[in-house]
Structure formats: C-alpha cells, structure tokens
Structure 1
Amino acid sequence: MTNLIDTVAEVDEARAADVVIGKGRIIFRRFMRNKTAVTGLAIFLGLFAFSLFGGFLTTWDKETIDPLNIGMGPSPEHLLGTSQAGIDLLALVVEGTRVSIFIGLIVGGLSVLISAVYGCSMAFFGGKVDSVMLFILEALIMMPAILVVAVATSGGGQSLKELPSWLLLIAVLLFFSWMGTARLVRSLAMSLMQRDYVKAAKYMGVPSMRIVRRHLVPNIGSLLVLDFTRGITGAILAEVAFSYIGIGIKLPDVSLGVLIGGATWQVSSFPWMFWVPLTVMFLLTGSLAMMNDGLRDAFDPTSTSIGRAKTKKKSK
C-alpha cells in the first residue's frame, strides 16, 4: 500500500509540473530503487562483460596446452590454474560463461516470443482453432524432455552430429521452454478479448494478426518480461544439468555445465576446477533471480518491498 501511495505521489508531482511520465519510466524508477535488483543487474552485466572481454586477462586460449603446468593451481601465469590437460582454466571459464549466457538469452527471448504469439492466437481465434492448438500444446507438454535431448545430442543421425552441440541443445530447449507460458498467456488473452477496444478493432475489420500484435501482446508485457528473465535462468540451469550428466554440450565445445561435470569426480585433487565454474554459475543464476524479483515488484503497484519515492519539498 505504501508503494502504491508513492507511485501516485510521483504521478501527481509530474502533473503539477506539467510533465508526463510514461509507464516505462515509472517502472524503471521503481526498479532502480530496489537495491537488491540493481545489485543483481550489476553482477549480471559484470559476468556478461567478463564473457566478452575476459580473454584479455590471459595470454592463453581454450585450445592451447601448457605442458609445463598440467593440473596446476592458480599462479601468476595462470590466474585460475590449469586443467588436467594443461589448458588455462580462466580461458575455459570465459568460454563456458559466454556459451551459457548465449544459450540463456537465445532460449529465453525466443521462447517468450513463441509463447506470446501462440497463446494470443489461441485466445483470439477461439472455437475449433483454439481446441486444435490447445490439443497440440498439451501433447507437446507430455513429451519427455530429457529423452529428446539425449536423442538429439547423441543419436540423432549423422546430419545432426555434424552440428555444434550447443546449437542442438538450443533447439531442444527452445522446443520445450515456451509451452507453459503459452497456456498462461492464453488464459490472460481470453480475458482481454472481452475488452471494448478489442471488440471495436474486430468490428472495424482490423487484420487479426495486427490485433494480436498491437492489442493483446502489449497488454501482457509484464508477464512476458518476467518470463524472459525466468527463461534465461531456466535455460542456463537446464544446460548445466544436461551437460553435467553427459547429454548436453559435448567437447570440444565448452560450457559451465561441461566444466562442472568434468571436475566433479576430482574435487579433492583439483578443487579450483570445480569451484570456479560452480561459483560463476551461482552468481549468474542468483543475479537473474534478484533481477526477476525486482522486475516483479516494479510491475506490481501494490508491492511494498521497494521503499518510498523521493518527493520534492514545495518552496514557500
């Protein structure tokens, strides 16, 4: 309730100063007042920058072997140590972080787009179209994801084996990641179909896909933004899990899951090889969780977890 009063105070202040504040700006202000969410954003941006420019911190790459430092701990020459094969761990972690973030962004973004279009289309057309699309959706949800991943990345035929393992994993994760959100979007969009502006657009002969794109999708934007951050987290965790058990990304491709899985059975002998990528994974998923909580509170005007807005004192 306090946060709702603060938001109203901001709007009243803007009206008094003849300034129009858009909804996006209000949400941005509320998000930036959440210290936890801002901290999560800073950590994520730092890891993203590390994945892009971390290679400049070392003169070694993920393919070069140092025969004089095989399985060695952190040193001035190798800041994070080396693997059992003599490869610089910092170079491997940079590559693994980049691959994991890339998978998360691609799967999270495309799954939101697919679920929004599919769910809104079901609600808009209704009738038999909705029944058929809902039947297809329910059938896909029943498919075992882990079995499909194993077949696609291990025994999918010669043509699939020639593709990079990370590309196959993206395709499989994207195939399964949009279904739950699409069903939720359908229920929300069906309530929007009863609004007067949607009925007026249909009566005026506005094309169906334009109504879906301009009237339905924007009105469920908060759900889609939150699902985007959740989708990134889910894709990264799925990549780590599948690669850990050997059915995800495979060598010579590198990811956080590959590094964690490869060092699990040698934690006592090479602890740096296990704890460094595991720490990066925790920081990555933890920062996304903090950002998601901040976005949820920013979109919710009744939330009381963000604090009070600063108001200007009226000059006498």
Structure 2
Amino acid sequence: MLTRTPQPEEASAVVDDAPVTGGQASPWRLIWRRFRKHRLALVGAVIVLLAYFVVVFAEILAPASPSAVDEKHTYAPPQIVKVDLSWDDGLRFYANGYTTERDPETFEQIHTVDPDKRIPLKFLAKGDSYHLWGLIPGDRHLFGAVHADQKVYFLGSDRSGRDMLSRIIHGARVSLSIGLVGVAVSFLLGLFFGGISGYFGGKPDLTIQRIIEFLMSIPTLPLWLSLSAAVPDEWGPLARYFAITTILSVIGWTGLARVVRGRFFSLREEDFVTAARLDGCSRPRIIFRHMVPSMSSHVIASLTMAVPGMILGETAMSFLGLGLQSPAVSWGVLLQEAQNIRTVESAPWLLIPGVAVFVTVLAMNFVGDGLRDSADPYK
C-alpha cells in the first residue's frame, strides 16, 4: 500500500497548533505553549493576577478603612447587594439596613437585616480618606454607600465593628507581599549555596548538604514558632514584618538549593560549559552567563511552588499569636478571632479570611505545577 510522504512545510505545520515563523522558537515560547494547555494553571494564574491587582489598589478597592471602628455595628452580618431596575431611574444598587436589638440576658447587640431599610450604593463612592501607595491622597472607593455616613458591611464586621471586606483586602497586601519578599531572599540564598555545592562539589558540597539536611530534619512548624517566639514583644509592626520574613526565608532556601545543586551537576559537564571553560571564561561568568540562564525556567517553577509555603507560614504564626500582631492586618491576624468556637458560631463570616488563604494558595500551587510541567523538556 502506497502512502504519501508529507512535504517539509506540512510536517512543520502539524508540530504545533501555532507554528513559528521566522526561525526556531525560543525556550520561553515553548514553555508558554505547554503552559497554555494546562487549564488549571491558567485559571490559577488569573486568580493570582487578580489577587496581586487587589494588593496594588487595596485602598481604592476596599469600601472603608481597615481600622475604622463602629461600636454600634459589632458582629454585624453581611449585607447582600441588590439591584432595582426601573424605567425612570434605570439600574440602581442598594443594600438593606439593620435593625439592632440588645439581648436582655447577655446584653449582646443582635443585628437583623431589615428589608424596609434601603441604603443606596454606587460606584466610586466617597468614603474614608486614604493615601494610595502612601503618596496620593483620595477618598473615593470602588463601590460603597452613596452617603458617607451610612455603613455597609458586604462581608460583615468583627467584634470592633470593623469592615471585614476592607480588612481582608488590606490583609492580602501583607500576606502576599511576605510570600514575594521571602521567596526573593530564599532565591538569593538557594542560588548562592546551591551553586557552590553543585559547581565545585567535594568538601564544599559535603558541608552545605549536611547543613541543608540538618535544617530539613527539624519539623518546620516548631522551628517557625521557636524563632518567632524569640522576637521581642516591643517591636513594632514593621520590625515584626521583616523579622517574620527573615525567619521564613532562612528556613525556606533549602529546597531551592537542592534544585540548583542538581541542575548545576547536570550542566557543568555540558559541551557549552566545557567550551566556555576552554575559552578562558572566569568561573563567575560561566555560572551567571551560561549556567544560570539555562536553568532559569526550573528555578522560576520552584520559586512559584515556594510562595504558597511562605504565605501559609505567616498565616500559621500569626494565627497562633507568634507572628504579626494587631494593629497590623494580615490574613493570619484576622483568623485569630476565629479561634473561639462560640464567636464563630454567632459570626461565621470571620472564617472568610481562611477561604481567601485556601483559594490563593491553591491557585499558586496550580500555577507552580503548570510551570514545572511546562519547563520539563522531556514532557
């Protein structure tokens, strides 16, 4: 039976859905092509980008100041946004107000959503003043009450009457930035020690690997707690922020160092490294000009997988009272109020920061898994 041999241009067309024109595809373009086929990774990437968009514009997106206290609305339940459509006024948003009563036995305020009370809402509403990025003054929020004196709690309030949605948005700035800063420091430590271990081998490799094995043999959570407990209580929020970041970074560099060491072992015998060595290139040039760019995709995938661990570490320490403390706002600090079962029973919306942690960490794991599979040349 005769078969037709495909022409060269036909063979190249079926290699990929989007053939490359004008030359060979770069490694990054090949990684992007494989990454696009990972649906969960794409969804996770969108969620992560939205999360960091919220971090950048937290002051505008938050409907109120995270520290604004209202004793009249302690543990107020969430208010649902409703839409009123009419021919005369068009599309209007509103939320029902509260009817407040006091329990005669416990003297606790009980808030009930009153369908007869309406609080008109609009976009770019005027509210609490702020300084965007600490520089630009403003008082406009993305969505809120038309009248600034009316309070709206889209995700309820805490024991001090502070808006939970605003605190979750501002808490994302602290929790997500700790992940990035901690991973940046871990990257420098892992690249330095892993590079020395993998390139030189011998006694430097033996010493560094024994240190890594010692750190990895210690249970992570007790080590976090012991180091964070050593932070003085009189330190302010900024000092504790950098202390917690340093603790997470010092412990989290070991995994990346193992990855870098393995890649250096495999690359130092490659032909292009041997050619650079015979050409008289110095060791720093061989490492940073030839070897590090060749494994950048694997390093990025490892860093992406490390960010969720940093976020969970900060959340765990703050939840147990050994990390960030009020008035600092992070997801772990917000979850401290959810430790009391009786409080959670009467105000279950205090667990919403835990949902934010779960969704963000899961999305980052999907992205890291997709990058790791896409960076594998043998997949």
Asked if these proteins are the same fold (TM beyond 0.5), I'd say yes
Residues 156, 35 of structure 1: CA spacing in aligned structure 2 closer, same or farther, 3 A cutoff? closer
- Which residue of 2 is the match for residue 273 of structure 1? 350
- Residue-by-residue CA offset, 1:157-203 (whole Å, 9 max, x unaligned): 47866853222110000000011221232133122222232233233
Q: Deviation of residue 69 (structure 1)?
A: 1.1
- Which residue of 2 is the match for residue 103 of structure 1? 178
3-state SS of 2:25 partner: coil
Instruction: Give the Cα–Cα distance (whole angstroms) in 2 for the partners of residues 224 and 247 of structure 1.
Output: 31
Identify the match of residue 325 of structure 2 among 229, 247, 250. 250
Q: Deviation of residue 93 (structure 1)?
A: 0.3
Count of residue pairs the alignment pairs up: 296
Instruction: Give the Cα–Cα distance (whole angstroms) in 1 for the partners of residues 38 and 45 of structure 2.
Output: 11
Residues 289, 135 of structure 1: CA spacing in aligned structure 2 closer, same or farther, 3 A cutoff? closer
Q: Which of these two proteins has the greater Rg computed from alpha carbons?
A: 2
Taking the TM superposition and a 5 Å limit, the aligned residue runs for 1:229-248 are 229-248=304-323
- Residue-by-residue CA offset, 1:124-168 (whole Å, 9 max, x unaligned): 222333333334433444456545533543333478668532221
Residues 113, 6 of structure 1: CA spacing in aligned structure 2 closer, same or farther, 3 A cutoff? farther
Residues 7, 240 of structure 1: CA spacing in aligned structure 2 closer, same or farther, 3 A cutoff? farther
CA contact (8 A) 2:228 2:322 kept: yes
Q: Deviation of residue 212 (structure 1)?
A: 1.4
3-state SS of 1:223 partner: helix
Q: Deviation of residue 268 (structure 1)?
A: 0.6
Instruction: Give the Cα–Cα distance (whole angstroms) in 2 for the partners of residues 193 and 59 of structure 1.
Output: 55
Query: Is it true that 1:200 corresponds to 2:204 in the alignment?
Result: no
Query: Is it true that 1:9 corresponds to 2:15 in the alignment?
Result: yes
Select the structure that is richer in helix. Answer: 1
Q: Deviation of residue 256 (structure 1)?
A: 0.9
Identify the match of residue 367 of structure 2 among 286, 291, 314. 291
Q: Deviation of residue 62 (structure 1)?
A: 1.5
Q: Unaligned 5+ residue runs, structure 2? A: 1-10, 80-94, 96-151
Residues 263, 195 of structure 1: CA spacing in aligned structure 2 closer, same or farther, 3 A cutoff? same
Q: Deviation of residue 12 (structure 1)?
A: 10
3-state SS of 1:81 partner: coil
- Which residue of 1 is the match for residue 25 of structure 2? 21
- Which residue of 2 is the match for residue 220 of structure 1? 295
Query: Is it true that 1:31 corresponds to 2:53 in the alignment?
Result: no
CA contact (8 A) 1:149 1:247 kept: no
In structure 1, give the amino acid aligned to 2:349. Answer: W
Deviates more, 1:192-201 or 1:142-151: 142-151
The structure showing larger relative contact order (alpha-carbon pairs under 8 Å, at least 6 residues apart) is 1
Identify the match of residue 51 of structure 2 among 42, 47, 52. 47
Instruction: Give the Cα–Cα distance (whole angstroms) in 2 for the partners of residues 48 and 106 of structure 1.
Output: 14
3-state SS of 1:87 partner: coil
Identify the match of residue 85 of structure 1 among 123, 142, 160. 160
Instruction: Give the Cα–Cα distance (whole angstroms) in 1 for the partners of residues 222 and 39 of structure 2.
Output: 41
- Which residue of 2 is the match for residue 73 of structure 1? 77
CA contact (8 A) 2:259 2:299 kept: no
Instruction: Give the Cα–Cα distance (whole angstroms) in 2 for the partners of residues 158 and 251 of structure 1.
Output: 12
In structure 2, give the amino acid aligned to 1:44. Answer: V
CA contact (8 A) 1:100 1:256 kept: yes
* C-alpha RMSD over aligned residues: 2.7
Instruction: Give the Cα–Cα distance (whole angstroms) in 1 for the partners of residues 297 and 307 of structure 2.
Output: 16
Q: Deviation of residue 271 (structure 1)?
A: 0.6
Task: Provide the TM-score with structure 2 as the length reference.
Answer: 0.70
- Residue-by-residue CA offset, 1:214-258 (whole Å, 9 max, x unaligned): 222222223211111111111111112222222222222121112
Q: Unaligned 5+ residue runs, structure 1? A: 304-316
Select the structure that is richer in strand. Answer: 2
- Residue-by-residue CA offset, 1:8-29 (whole Å, 9 max, x unaligned): 8139943xx4433211112112
Identify the match of residue 94 of structure 1 among 156, 162, 169. 169
In structure 2, give the amino acid aligned to 1:99. Answer: V
Instruction: Give the Cα–Cα distance (whole angstroms) in 2 for the partners of residues 262 and 192 of structure 1.
Output: 51
Q: Deviation of residue 54 (structure 1)?
A: 4.0
Task: Provide the TM-score with structure 1 as the length reference.
Answer: 0.83
3-state SS of 2:156 partner: coil
Instruction: Give the Cα–Cα distance (whole angstroms) in 2 for the partners of residues 215 and 135 of structure 1.
Output: 28
Instruction: Give the Cα–Cα distance (whole angstroms) in 2 for the partners of residues 225 and 102 of structure 1.
Output: 17
